[in-house]
Amino acid sequence: MHGQNITSRIWIIVLLIFINESLQTIALHSSYMETVKQWNLLSYNFPWDYPVANKDFYNAENVVATGIEVGYDLIFLATPRLFAGVPATLSSISRNSHGDSPILEAYPSWSHHRSGTNDYNCTDIGLVSVYRVRIDSCNRLWALDAGVSRSLEDFEISCPPKILIYDLYTNQVVRRIDFPTEVIRGESLFTNIIVDETTSKKENHCDDVFVYITDTVAPGIVVYDSEKDLTWRLSHPAMYPDPDFAESTILEHRFTLMDGVVGMAFDPESAILYFQPLATDRLFSVSTASLRIGPLGFGKELPVKLVGRKSSQGIGLAAAPLGGTIFYSPLSETAIASWNPRTNEHRYLKHSNKLTVAYSLKIRKEFSSLQICVRLNEMALLSTY
Ligand SMILES: *[C@@H]1O[C@H](CO)[C@@H](O)[C@H](O)[C@H]1NC(C)=O
């Protein structure tokens, strides 16, 4: 993420929770979580003639997964270009791969990851830096490309941000969304994406969804109406970092990160979007109706609510598809916790020294229970029964 003053290398995790049981069952059985896959460092299946020894091209210690999605047969990892040395920003592994340290395949092919080369043109079909991806119910992968290279080093704006939608049956780009310049700010960093299908009609094949996007460095939420192809930008003080929470502590590491809104979760039952800046102990909500209505009129304020306070800062956030439970990961506690604002029930699901920064929390109902953790020098894929 974007920070001025990282005093030590931050551990990184991507976490995914799959459920096929009630959330309560998960909470009760959390001690049965086990690691089913882990990595020391991420490595790629490179073409034979790639300059793998060049650290500016590939530096395994700089490849950090912040986003994860699971398809029918592939698991997708988003590895943004936080530093130099990230050869591909979106990759896949087979869901059935055996053994640890599965090798990443650039997705859909290496030709989509040429942004670091001299002859790359931003109008080409390719990706610069992807923090998070989402799969919609039409089996299409939405890749949100921030367009910024080396965001933790020199923050080079390589290309404007965009979305590429891949059809996972054909692995072809079926739609490209370029954002109008009025929703982009000089320091924009688009990091997270929610695809809201609650009013989508089956015959429209997911081309009538609403999309909510976090701008973490120039804090705001960008809304895209994919049916009308309209985009607008909304902002609120709750999306900004709180200077009192600029310093985070994880295990023995202390670092300063003044990131704005980055965690987002969507509760489709109550049509509420939850969000949190990194530098805060607070969790906020806003109704999707108020996001969908369009740009704010002059003097109008977005009806953001304070949902509650957490024990420490966090990034990853998820909401259960039913029941309203929110999952979050307080950084200092290196844990995964859940909280139901309707019943005020709190639970600790998992504590681990391996679970440091949960960059992404996801819940999928349709697969067996599974949890994935990724961090900088070690990544683990956990499973819970
Ligand atoms: C990029 O490609 C577009 C479309 O092919 C072209 O119009 C433009 O001049 C190219 N830009 C550069 C810098 O080559």
Name the residue of 117, 120, 123 to mutate for ligand 1: max ligand atoms within 8 A of Cβ: 123
Pocket-forming residues, ligand 1, beta carbon under 6 Å: 121, 123
Q: What is the 3-state secondary structure (H, E, C) of 21-51?
A: CCHHHHHHCHHHCEEEEEECCCCECCCCCCC
Domains in the chain: ranges and CATH = 28-178 (2.120.10.30), 240-384 (2.120.10.30)
Q: Edge-to-edge strand order for the sheet containing 230-234?
A: 190-196, 210-215, 220-225, 230-234
User: How many angstroms is it from 153 CA to the middle of ligand 1?
Assistant: 27
φ and ψ of 114, to 5 deg = -100, 15
Q: Specify the residue with its C-alpha closest to ligand 1, atom 6.
A: 123
User: How many angstroms is it from 126 CA to the middle of ligand 1?
Assistant: 14
pLDDT tens digits, 33-60: 455 556 767 899 999 999 999 999 999 8
The more confident residue out of 8 and 362 is: 362
Q: Which of 382, 383, 384, 1 is nearest to 191 (CA)?
A: 1
Q: Say whether pTM exceeds 0.95.
A: no
Mean pLDDT, rounded, for 302-331: 85
pLDDT tens digits, 186-223: 999 999 999 999 999 999 999 999 999 999 999 999 99
pLDDT of 230: 97
Percent of the chain with pLDDT over 70: 79
| Residues whose CB is less than 8 angstroms from the CB of residue 138 and which lie 6 or more positions away in sequence, other chains included | 205, 206
pLDDT of 286: 98
The mean of the pLDDT values for the chain is: 82
Cβ count near 34 (within 10 Å): 12
What atom of ligand 1 comes closest to residue 121's alpha carbon? Answer: 1
Residue 78 has pLDDT above 70, yes or no: yes
Residue 185 has pLDDT above 70, yes or no: yes
Name the residue of 117, 121, 159, 176 to mutate for ligand 1: max ligand atoms within 8 A of Cβ: 121
User: How many angstroms is it from 120 CA to the middle of ligand 1?
Assistant: 10
pLDDT of 258: 83
Gap between the Cα atoms of 50 and 130, Å rounded? 21
